[in-house]
């Protein structure tokens, strides 16, 4: 669900999405157990050049609807320091179990060698007053259809670190490191003509290493 519009897993959501800035970072989060408002997720982030508030959280994009309860993402300013996720824009319905604990950006964008993580938000922990735990996950176990849905949202011609070729190290670490795909599977690209998993991966890698989308 984006801004009150219910979307299918394969529906093009680009018309609903804010455009990523060049130095934004994309946060990938999945929910292991539903919360009161169902399979939707909002993000409250702070500490960077811009932020929002707990009572004006931003809707995340549900990119895969059957990865646990759902896989979501959101692009935040690159200097964001912390965030939490929850089930609604305003408040938490009076239950801490409808939100996560605070999550540090440094726990999922690690310094040193390429090391990126997604975030798993736990199921209900036995009490409405207990916030959902958050676990940094090294690699995502993905199917062909999962990686196609994720690659649909990456623009090989953009230099953005959130959804362009400069996001390749993150994409490679999270999507490709521990998964084997049928590389000829079609990617219904949101940013251009349909392609394949292999072709899109190779194009992103080439543009990243070259530093341009020539």
Q: Does some domain include residue 14?
A: no
d(CA 81, CA 23): 14
d(CA 26, CA 116): 11
d(CA 158, CA 61): 19
pLDDT at 198 over 80: yes
d(CA 36, CA 51): 25
Same domain? For 53 and 80 the reply is yes
Q: Read off the pLDDT of residues 129-159 as tens digits, 9 standing for 90 and up.
A: 999 999 999 878 999 999 999 999 999 999 9
Q: Read off the pLDDT of residues 44-98 as tens digits, 9 standing for 90 and up.
A: 999 999 999 999 999 999 999 999 999 999 999 999 999 999 999 999 999 999 9
d(CA 103, CA 81): 9
Record the pTM: 0.89
* End-of-domain residue from the set 89, 109, 137: 137
Q: What is the DSSP letter of 16?
A: G
Domain housing 107:
22-137
Task: Pinpoint the alpha helices (H) of 57-163.
Answer: 144-151
Q: What's the CATH number where 62 sits? A: 2.60.40.1110
Report the DSSP pairing between strands 195-196 and 186-187.
antiparallel
* End-of-domain residue from the set 137, 161, 180: 137
* End-of-domain residue from the set 118, 137, 156: 137
């Amino acid at each position: 669900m984006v801004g009150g519009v219910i979307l299918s897993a394969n529906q093009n959501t680009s018309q609903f999405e804010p455009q990523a800035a060049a130095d934004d970072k994309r946060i990938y989060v999945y929910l292991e157990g539903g919360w009161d408002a169902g399979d939707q997720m909002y993000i409250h982030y702070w500490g960077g050049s811009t932020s929002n508030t707990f009572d004006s959280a931003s809707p995340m994009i549900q990119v895969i609807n059957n990865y646990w309860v759902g896989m979501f993402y959101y692009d935040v300013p690159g200097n964001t320091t912390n965030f939490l996720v929850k089930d609604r824009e305003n408040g938490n319905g009076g239950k801490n179990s409808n939100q996560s604990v605070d999550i540090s950006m440094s726990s999922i964008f690690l310094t040193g060698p390429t090391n990126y993580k997604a975030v798993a938000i736990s199921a209900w922990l036995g009490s409405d007053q207990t916030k959902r735990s958050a676990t940094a996950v090294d690699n995502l176990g993905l199917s062909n259809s999962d990686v196609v849905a994720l690659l649909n949202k990456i623009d090989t011609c953009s230099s953005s670190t959130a959804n362009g070729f400069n996001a390749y190290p993150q994409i490679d670490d999270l999507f490709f490191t521990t998964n084997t795909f049928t590389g000829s599977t079609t990617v219904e690209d949101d940013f251009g003509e349909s392609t394949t998993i292999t072709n899109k991966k190779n194009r992103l890698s080439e543009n990243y290493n070259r530093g341009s989308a020539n």
